[in-house]
Structure 1
Amino acid sequence: MDAQQRSYLAFLRFFTALLLVAALYFAQEVLVPLALSALLAFMLNPLVKLLCRCRLPRTLSVVIVTMLVFTLMGCVFWMVGKELHHLANALPNYRHNIQERVSAVRNASEGGTIARLRSMVADISTSALDVSAGRQKAVSPSAPASTTPADQPPSPPDKTTPAPQPAPPPVEGGMASKILNGSLAFLANGLGVAAVVIVFVIFMLLRQEDISHRIVGLAGFSRLTTTSRAMDEIGGRISRYLLMLATVNSLYGVMLAIGLAFIGLPYVLLWGVLAALFRFIPYIGPWIVAVLPIGLSLAVFDGWTQPLMVAGLIIGLELLTNMVLEPLLYGHSVGVSDFALLVAITFWTWLWGGLGLVLATPLTVCIVVICKYIPSLAWVDVLMGEKQPPQAHLMAFRRLVAGDEDAFQSTIQESFEKNGVEATLDQVVLPALVLTRREAMLGKLDEEEQKEVIETIQATSQYLRECQAEAMDEARETEAAAAAEAEEKEKKENEENLENSDAVTPVAEVSTADEPVPPPIPVFARALHGQVDALALEMLEILLPPQIELQVSADDRLIGELVENLNESRPALMIISAMRPGSIMAAETLCRRLHHKIPGLKLLVCRWGLPGQQSTAKSLKDAGATWVATTLEEARNVIVEATDVQLSP
């Protein structure tokens, strides 16, 4: 794909995204009730399944759940409306307390910092006005003297001039009519949306299987497994999250209402329901609704004790909910990073207003899960997903390319101390070498940069070899010390037995002569791509037992010379190092030729790649390979099994 085609595809994707956002914005009157219905259907589906497990028909289960839930919601909203009406009528009774609070704040500011700042601003303003007036007096010509003597009183106003009449009071009928009409229209619109949502929820719960089959059919049978997994994950994750979130919010509202009732604050049902509803809005919802009971406590109570108790109750419940209830029931998150969730909340609020603020979390979860199963959109899961797999090799390679050897060595040292030599070589150093070869083949690394990176990796490999040797020496010393201690203990026990026995039995002396060291087991290795494959084989050699002698060949010898060398040395097996990318054709050709020339030869093909990268084992095994390995651990295990050598503990 050339640069022009890539630019065209990028523009096409950007234009498609703009069209999608425009469609979401202009079709919100249809999409918002549909999204809200899907949200409620996800929330109620576990309850329907619970009744179905009790051998009730699904239709009856849906009817029971929807009737109970929507009846309960209607009763709660009716009671909240009644409480709100009583609060609106009672607010004028608290006018005196509100005025006293304002006066107290104003008196506290007098004589303090605020008063000093206000006085300073007033002095500066007065000085500026005086200076401006003086300049105008100096520049302007002298004004003519007044014809009226100074001691003469001003003439009375002309009685013939009509006095200004006060403006007529505004007619309040038109404004009240407008407010009434607007309220009725808003109420009718809300009732209409609620009716549509209820119908959609019932339909989605009744036709869940049918909707799932239609979505799978729309995606195509070629994506049957992927679509099924995505739908199961979306349904399971969002249903569990919403049900647990509703449970947590309900408990929070009940506890807040009970606490406020003990403090003595009126209208506790209103504050409990509002707190439970606003907690569906992530991060900012609880603190928005917290202002209302605190403000009412300032107006209702005379002192400061009860308002402080209300604020303390809200803070304590938030800490209890965030640290105990949420981790216990469903955890802190739904698989989306905090920053991505904040961005998503901002986007959906801008797009759909207040309902978008409520729907932001479940909609974002759906998008992240769907994009995770679409290869071309996997970057969305990388950017917005909460927990990504560790990418130590990427960090190491970036530091290598940047020439920051200290930071690279720090990454290696941290991985070595945490995971050991084998995991560091397999998960950090070798993948960094694979990335080096890939970037060099793409032309993004020149020869000099590639040489520097390979030299640094080679030095790191040598350092890890020394660490492995030190660890093995320490293990041998520990084993020898344990053997010597056991021998000394056995010797003392024998001496005690001889002293206690009547007859003297000659004790055979244990031969301390060194046992014969078995000859090393030869294993031949061929590096297809010279230095990079030879370096990978050196890393493999670090992990092999000392009984295995690895003979690495990195020169471009002919197949006849290679076969002759193999016939002379008779190795236990032959290793072909074929690092990605590419090299698959060369590895298959070499396997075929060796298998034809030496039929009984065991072949291990090492297709070194990145963590999680799949191997093309079938074509290599068809060409004659006995084993195919992608990691150092797999290759080491194959070699140990083929040579029948015991690994040291």
Structure 2
Amino acid sequence: MHARAGIIHAAAHLFIGFVVILALIYGRAVLLPLALAAFLAFILTPIVSWLAQLRFPRPAAVAVVMAAFIALTLLASAVFSSQVLELTGSLSTYRNNISEKLRSFSGSSTHTIALKRAADAIDGLRHEFQAQIPKASPDDPIRVVVEKESAAGFSGILSALQSTLGPLEAMALTLLYASVLLTEHYDIVDRLVRLAGANYITESTAALYEAGSRISRLFLSQAVINSAFGLFIGIALWLLGIPNGPLWGMSVAVLRFIPWFGVVLGAGPPILLAAAITPHWELVYAVLGLFAGGEFVLSHVIEPRALGRHTGLSPLAVIAAASFWSVVWGPVGVVLSAPLTVALVVLGDYVPALKFLSLLLGDRAPLSPAQEYYRRLLSGDSAAAVERFEHTIEGRSPVDAADLMVLPALRLAANDYRDDRVSAAKAQELAETMEDFQDIILNAFTDERRETPPSSADRAPCVVLPAHGPVDRMAAFFTAFMLSHFSHARATAIRENSGMMALSSLKKEEPPETIDTILLVSVGGVAQTHMRLLARRAAADFPQSRILVCDWGDAPAEIEAERGLPERIVRCESLSQASRLLAYAYSARKSEPPAPATPPNAASAPVKRSVA
């Protein structure tokens, strides 16, 4: 029954998506100007709001901003048209230089053979087409077809006017939409909030204003950056002697709204023109270096500081969005693909039903560092796990990185093992992958990244006991590994047993006076009574040892100190805290006169917990 309901639900979603796509295609005449107007409104909203803060009435501020935008658009159109006409008239003068480039390209024997094969292939195709066309004999009658005269009169004039005024009509409709969106901004927001429901005014208002501010800031910053880059390209090309520099500057400013591919499309014509106006290659290299260097500085230096991040889209989303919107709305859809998709991603951040959009299209990490590390452990890829660990360790110590990523991943494994999603055999595979992971990071980290280990005589002897189950044994072995190599402790782990059996085996194998500290480690959410009983039993069996209770599960147990032993049972909230407590013991051993043998408890010496 549930499976059938799920199939019906999925089919309903597919049908709705199909209807939306059809509406986008067949409603292009109305929706495309509306999308352009919304894009324009997002860019101009901060300017209108700034004028409104200067005590301008909002309609007057909208009128001033729209008038300035129309004037700039007309000026840019006039410059663009004149540059295109000038370029068209001068193309014929570059024919000799292009021929010289082809001759220099075909100078080597390899290039000559390749060009000759291409020419022979084209010639062969031409002969093949001619052979397929039947030749007319002299006796064949000549057919005379009289075509009807094209429409004339009033209907022809209307057709000509429609083809001429179509773009102007779309532009006027876009400007009208943008003016209404800017003027009726608050009314439209109120209607959207009411549509979301009167009981959700706080949430919907916060979502709309945060989404609007993010998109407006992103689009306005992108428009300013692209315009400045287009101005720079136009001036630089003019200084290099490339004709029609303003044309290429405006082209790259518009095309750069297409992530990644926009600069490539904008750089193509100037590079070809540089190859046409001179018989040498130096100018081509200069133009290529200009675009490559400018885009590198812009995308890696200026944009990260101005925008904080890029478009917020994953690489796959950029390509898929450009392909989809080009099919739906043509070349204009390609330019609008990034803004429209960013709007969908922002919408998915606030609407739970559309959360999948931000997950599929956004550039945020789909998994947390711990989840990503755990997935690599499940796949048995220890090298990838090390790579993820090294990425997390940037700016942190190895112990802090383990608190942030490895121990939470082991908590996930413990939960899966408790819920029977991980079998005993799979847990053994996880343990083997963890061992490989530890061997790799031990060899990968340089001596500068680890603390200098003291001599064995000075290092605090420490034993790590797992509380319960195979995952706790993994956690205990990893804890002993980290403490031995990245702290002032000489740690060993009990791996064969856990809980009370581990304590019994430890009591048989080691004299109590030789153990300085016992760590009781659990990442599986062991019951409070079990951890309390285990801590009291360890304190009773090893009266001269300190007991560090390391319950790192999802719901850590509250361990109360045994009466009469307030400083021997200490609760550790993280591996870094345990490392610092052991470092205190090491410093106490070396101090003169000797410091107290026991470190302060959690109440007297609180240690800040690493926050993921």
Structure 1 segment 196-215 matched on structure 2, within 5 A: 196-215=173-192
1:608 aligned counterpart, secondary structure: coil
What residue is the counterpart of 1:319 in the other structure?
A: 292
What residue is the counterpart of 2:31 in the other structure?
A: 31
Conserved in 2, the CA contact under 8 Å of 1:345 and 1:357? Answer: yes
Q: Which string of whole-angstrom CA distances, capped at 9 and with x for unpartnered residues, describes residues 525-578 of structure 1? A: 995x54545765777787799899x9998359xxxxxxxxxxxxxxxxx99967
Relative to structure 1, the CA distance from residue 207 to residue 60 in structure 2 (aligned partners, 3 Å threshold; closer, same or farther) is same
What residue is the counterpart of 1:444 in the other structure?
A: 421
Conserved in 2, the CA contact under 8 Å of 1:334 and 1:365? Answer: yes
1:278 to partner: Cα distance: 3.0
Relative to structure 1, the CA distance from residue 440 to residue 377 in structure 2 (aligned partners, 3 Å threshold; closer, same or farther) is farther
Conserved in 1, the CA contact under 8 Å of 2:411 and 2:524? Answer: yes
Relative to structure 1, the CA distance from residue 40 to residue 308 in structure 2 (aligned partners, 3 Å threshold; closer, same or farther) is farther
Conserved in 2, the CA contact under 8 Å of 1:252 and 1:317? Answer: no
1:367 to partner: Cα distance: 1.4
Relative to structure 1, the CA distance from residue 281 to residue 405 in structure 2 (aligned partners, 3 Å threshold; closer, same or farther) is closer
1:212 aligned counterpart, secondary structure: helix
Q: Which string of whole-angstrom CA distances, capped at 9 and with x for unpartnered residues, describes residues 1-49 of structure 1? A: 9555444444444343333333333333222222111110111112122
Task: Return 209-218 or 262-271, whichever deviates more.
Answer: 262-271
2:524 aligned counterpart, secondary structure: coil
Relative to structure 1, the CA distance from residue 166 to residue 296 in structure 2 (aligned partners, 3 Å threshold; closer, same or farther) is farther
TM-score, length-normalised on structure 1? 0.62
Conserved in 1, the CA contact under 8 Å of 2:230 and 2:253? Answer: yes
Take 2:380 and 2:158, find their aligned partners in 1: how far apart are those partners? 71
What residue is the counterpart of 2:585 in the other structure?
A: none
Q: Which string of whole-angstrom CA distances, capped at 9 and with x for unpartnered residues, describes residues 425-458 of structure 1? A: 3234323322223333454332322244357658
Relative to structure 1, the CA distance from residue 345 to residue 442 in structure 2 (aligned partners, 3 Å threshold; closer, same or farther) is farther
Q: Which runs of 5+ in 1 are unaligned?
A: 129-160, 481-517, 557-573, 595-602, 610-615
Relative to structure 1, the CA distance from residue 553 to residue 69 in structure 2 (aligned partners, 3 Å threshold; closer, same or farther) is same
Structure 1 segment 551-566 matched on structure 2, within 5 A: 554=499
Relative to structure 1, the CA distance from residue 459 to residue 223 in structure 2 (aligned partners, 3 Å threshold; closer, same or farther) is farther
CA RMSD of aligned residues (A): 5.9
What residue is the counterpart of 1:218 in the other structure?
A: 195
Counterpart residue identity of residue 302, structure 2: L
1:445 aligned counterpart, secondary structure: coil
Conserved in 1, the CA contact under 8 Å of 2:466 and 2:475? Answer: no
What residue is the counterpart of 1:328 in the other structure?
A: 302
1:381 to partner: Cα distance: 3.3
1:33 aligned counterpart, secondary structure: helix
Relative to structure 1, the CA distance from residue 66 to residue 419 in structure 2 (aligned partners, 3 Å threshold; closer, same or farther) is same
Take 2:122 and 2:450, find their aligned partners in 1: how far apart are those partners? 82
The alignment of Structure 1 onto Structure 2 pairs a total of residues equal to 533
1:336 aligned counterpart, secondary structure: coil
Take 1:588 and 1:443, find their aligned partners in 2: how far apart are those partners? 23
Matched, 1:304 2:279: yes
Relative to structure 1, the CA distance from residue 15 to residue 579 in structure 2 (aligned partners, 3 Å threshold; closer, same or farther) is farther
Take 2:82 and 2:451, find their aligned partners in 1: how far apart are those partners? 81
1:349 to partner: Cα distance: 1.1
Conserved in 2, the CA contact under 8 Å of 1:607 and 1:628? Answer: no
Conserved in 2, the CA contact under 8 Å of 1:530 and 1:555? Answer: no
Counterpart residue identity of residue 407, structure 2: L
Relative to structure 1, the CA distance from residue 279 to residue 641 in structure 2 (aligned partners, 3 Å threshold; closer, same or farther) is same
- Equivalent residue for 1:361, pick from 338, 341, 346: 338
What residue is the counterpart of 1:608 in the other structure?
A: 553
Take 1:388 and 1:396, find their aligned partners in 2: how far apart are those partners? 13
What residue is the counterpart of 2:317 in the other structure?
A: 340
What residue is the counterpart of 2:166 in the other structure?
A: 189
Take 1:102 and 1:177, find their aligned partners in 2: how far apart are those partners? 48
1:115 to partner: Cα distance: 6.5
Counterpart residue identity of residue 304, structure 1: P
TM-score, length-normalised on structure 2? 0.65
Take 1:123 and 1:539, find their aligned partners in 2: how far apart are those partners? 71
Matched, 1:239 2:216: yes
Conserved in 1, the CA contact under 8 Å of 2:52 and 2:61? Answer: yes
Identity value in percent: 25
Structure 1 segment 65-464 matched on structure 2, within 5 A: 65-82=65-82, 84=84, 86-87=85-86, 91=89, 95=92, 97=93, 100=96, 112-113=112-113, 116-117=116-117, 184-220=161-197, 227-262=204-239, 268-292=245-269, 303-304=278-279, 309=283, 311=284, 314-326=287-299, 327-329=301-303, 330=306, 333-375=310-352, 377-388=354-365, 391-404=368-381, 419-454=396-431, 457=434
Conserved in 2, the CA contact under 8 Å of 1:587 and 1:605? Answer: no
Relative to structure 1, the CA distance from residue 473 to residue 32 in structure 2 (aligned partners, 3 Å threshold; closer, same or farther) is closer
Take 2:194 and 2:580, find their aligned partners in 1: how far apart are those partners? 45
What residue is the counterpart of 1:17 in the other structure?
A: 17
Take 1:630 and 1:221, find their aligned partners in 2: how far apart are those partners? 44
Conserved in 2, the CA contact under 8 Å of 1:257 and 1:272? Answer: yes
Q: Which string of whole-angstrom CA distances, capped at 9 and with x for unpartnered residues, describes residues 491-517 of structure 1? A: xxxxxxxxxxxxxxxxxxxxxxxxxxx
Take 1:198 and 1:185, find their aligned partners in 2: how far apart are those partners? 19
Relative to structure 1, the CA distance from residue 388 to residue 180 in structure 2 (aligned partners, 3 Å threshold; closer, same or farther) is farther
Counterpart residue identity of residue 321, structure 1: G
Q: Which string of whole-angstrom CA distances, capped at 9 and with x for unpartnered residues, describes residues 200-248 of structure 1? A: 2122222323333333333346655654454344323322232233223
Q: Which string of whole-angstrom CA distances, capped at 9 and with x for unpartnered residues, describes residues 380-432 of structure 1? A: 43443334288554454344434456765776688779844423432343233
Relative to structure 1, the CA distance from residue 223 to residue 342 in structure 2 (aligned partners, 3 Å threshold; closer, same or farther) is farther
Take 1:253 and 1:473, find their aligned partners in 2: how far apart are those partners? 52
Conserved in 2, the CA contact under 8 Å of 1:234 and 1:365? Answer: no
Relative to structure 1, the CA distance from residue 170 to residue 279 in structure 2 (aligned partners, 3 Å threshold; closer, same or farther) is farther
1:279 to partner: Cα distance: 3.0
